[in-house]
Each structure stands twice: as C-alpha cells, then as structure tokens.
Amino acid sequence: MHELTLVQGILDSVNESSSREDRRVARYTVGVGELAQFDVRLLRKLFRDLSKNTTLEGAKVSFVREKARLRCLGCERTMSFGDLSGQLSQQEKEMVHFLPELLNSCAKCPSCSRSYFEIDAGRSVRIVEIAFD
C-alpha cells in the first residue's frame, strides 16, 4: 500500500521540521492534487493511526484539494483539468486519473487542437503548511 509509505514520509518530514525548529507542531496541512490517486478519507485515517504515540499525536492535520493545472506545449495555454474533461468519456477520465499522461492521447487543446500537455500542478501530495505552538 503506497499510501502508507507516503503518509509515513510526510510525518517524518513534519517531525524533522519540528526538531529543526525545536517546537511542537500544532497543525499541518497536506495538499492532495486533483489528479493524485489518493482517497483523502484513507489518508486521514493513516495520519491519525501513524501519529499515535509520537510527537505529532494531537496535532491537527487538514487537507486541501489542489486543482490540476495543465499547459499546452503547442500554444502555451494554461488550463484546468475541467477545461478538458468535457472531451473525455467516463472511462477516459478514470484512465487519466491513474496515468495523467494519457491525457495526451484523448484530449485536444481548446485553442490549438494539439494533444501535447504538461501537468504543472495538481498531481502530487505535499506538505502545504506547518504551524507550531
């Protein structure tokens, strides 16, 4: 389960920041990209379970959904996943969520009709903020 490894890595990073600052973490925010394949409910449970009996137990964790931002490499137009998702079937949307690069195979830029996109944001899970006591 890669969620377990991801959550443990984030907790390790938050703990490292706490040690570096020599302060206790009050809360931290985790950004979950729109194209990331993670269930926030599962992440929430893993953060709660894995922080038990650690220095992060009791720190509030919150999540923000980060919208995907794509750039057409043909005309440089920047757009959201929503700008392209209307072109996709339900099956294609699911495939793109598993492998976002497939967007190049099933969508076209509304401006130049090319199918050559780069994902600039909304694909990862990351620490957005750490607040200390």
CB-based contacts of 92-98 (< 8 A; 24+ apart in sequence)? 96/35, 97/35, 97/37, 98/37
Domain that holds residue 83: 69-120
What burial letters (b/e) apply to 93-107, b meaning 16+ CB within 10 Å?
A: eebbeeebeebeebb
Tell me the mean pLDDT in the region 17-44: 92
Residues 78, 41, single domain; the answer is: no
Do residues 97 and 37 make contact, with C-beta atoms less than 8 angstroms apart?
A: yes
- Lowest mean pLDDT of 1-5, 40-44, 84-88, name the range: 1-5
Tell me the mean pLDDT in the region 51-58: 94
> How many domains is the chain partitioned into structurally?
2
- The position carrying tokens 């967007």 is 103
Average pLDDT, whole number, for the chain? Answer: 93
Query: Cα separation of 2 and 106, whole Å?
Result: 27
Residues 11, 45, single domain; the answer is: yes
